[in-house]
Structure 1
Amino acid sequence: MINIFLKLRWSLAVVAIMLLMGCSKPSEALHVLIPTASKSSSVPDSEVSQKVQLALLTIPGIETLDINVSTRKGDVRLVGIVDTQVQIDAALKLVRETDGAFTINNQLTIKQ
């Protein structure tokens, strides 16, 4: 009789473990099936660079500066010389708001 109860407890424990392990599988599969909202997933790098360059032309004080913009795999690289830290901050804010920009490689320097 004790042997039956022992087997029953082990069986229940195994079933409980299997159920608990099985609960994590659907959420992983669901994660794979539903794409996350990634800013860089669907926008080509050339389009990201073009959007940033055009947007830089709309910022007063920056539109006349020579800032080189290049993008690779969502990493936007800004290279150039600006007059103030405010201009750097404005350019970085603009890149952060650009669809398709994933990271920023800031190489802007302030004119001495």
Structure 2
Amino acid sequence: MRNLLSHQYILPLVTVSLLALTACNKAVDSSNPNAATTIGVEIDDSVISTKVRSALMADELIKSMDVKVGTRKGEVLLSGFADNQMQIDRSAFVAMAVEGVKKVDNKLTLKEGKQTVGNKVDDSVITAGIKTAMLADAQMKSMDVAVVTRKGEVQLSGFVDNDTQATHAQDIAKSVSGVESVINNLKVKK
């Protein structure tokens, strides 16, 4: 008999539990298009994001890319850096083919030049610094913001509550040492 606390059961259980706790604090007004999402929609979005990530990883042309995937009410937001335009186009095509995807907003950017091991380490430190600063900031829901860094260029993506929060996230990122520029691909929840 399998142990119910084995690793294959813990992650889905934790994911569903966290989504349930998140949804419990949200009021739903179906007449308001800006109303909070229901737990069913949040679970659907989580499943869509997972399916898109799996489809991207299974594709030979794009499997080695570090693509961030966010989903809100069936709209998928892709961000990260690609080696060529074909990878950018293919990523959107693969994501759109996933069941449940209503729209794809492709914010992938072409990489500039070759990245060294030193650049990768520096970029990891920058990304960690931004995530730490966002976690320490009371205005930010940092778990909703994906951060990707390439040679000091930072991409922010995900879904935030309003334009003020998107601007604030960009300001936080700019304040971190080593950041050369910030591409703000954050979208306001609809």
Q: With the length of structure 1 as denominator, give the TM-score of the two structures.
A: 0.59
Q: State the match for 1:26 in structure 2.
A: none
Deviations 1:1-60 (A, max 9, x none): xxxxxxxxxxxxxxxxxxxxxxxxxxxxxxxxxxxxxxxx9x800111000000111112
Counterpart amino acid of 2:94? L
The 1-side partners of 2:98 and 2:50 are apart by: 10
- For the pair 1:63 / 2:63, whether they are aligned, the reply is yes
Q: Structure 2: where are the runs of 5+ without partners?
A: 1-40, 113-190
Q: How does 1:1-112 map to 2 (within 5 A)?
A: 44-112=44-112
> What CA distance in whole angstroms lies between the structure 1 residues aligned with 2:46 and 2:57?
17
> 1:69: how far off?
0.3
Q: Percent identity among equivalent residues?
A: 38
Relative contact order: is structure 1 or structure 2 higher (C-alpha 8 Å, sep ≥ 6)?
Answer: 1
Q: What is the CA deviation profile of residues 57-83 of structure 1, one whole-angstrom value per residue up to 9, with x for unaligned ones?
A: 111242121110010001100010000
- The structure that is helix-richer by fraction is 1
Q: Provide the rounded CA distance (Å) in 1 between the counterparts of 2:111 and 2:45.
A: 29
The count of corresponding residues between Structure 1 and Structure 2 is 71
TM-score, normalising length from structure 2? 0.36
Query: For residues 85 and 59 of structure 2, what CA distance do their matches in structure 1 show?
Result: 14
- State the superposition RMSD in angstroms: 1.6
For the pair shown, which has the larger CA radius of gyration, 1 or 2? 1
Structure 1 unmatched ranges of 5 or more: 1-40
In structure 1, C-alpha distance between the alignment counterparts of 2:104 and 2:68, rounded to whole Å = 13
Q: Partner letter of residue 71 of structure 1?
A: T
